[in-house]
Structure 1
């Protein structure tokens, strides 16, 4: 887990925090990545592949999670 100030090793399946933190605005964007939607500053699409920018880092978004992410980002803007 990466925070604004540190990194921590968490030994639980990613599905556990994904379920527990969904109401707090976290979303799974890849099989190994969970992000706080409020910290997504940009969605990029290049040659059909999506990625997000979080804290200045570009992270891949799997095809499986792209549609849900787009919908959530669109809702956030309205």
Structure 2
């Protein structure tokens, strides 16, 4: 039952960034579930998945932080739009 350490172990900073990206991805998918129209919801879900996959192998720390910032801003705008449409 001895745990095997993967050949490419993440540093603490990389691990924390990875967790931040995964949380952002989950939050985006949760927000997309609030979209009432099936077609629009599926289009946005496909867009989110492809965008994350496109940058999956990004290693430049500054580029990753910029992508996270952009994603968080887009999520905030999506949530605001959904909140307005529900009122």
* Global fold match (TM > 0.5): no
Choose between structure 1 and 2 for higher RCO, CA contacts under 8 A separated by at least 6 residues: 2
Greater helix share, 1 or 2?
A: 2
**TM-score for the superposition, normalised by structure 1:** 0.30
Structure of greater Rg: 2
**TM-score for the superposition, normalised by structure 2:** 0.28
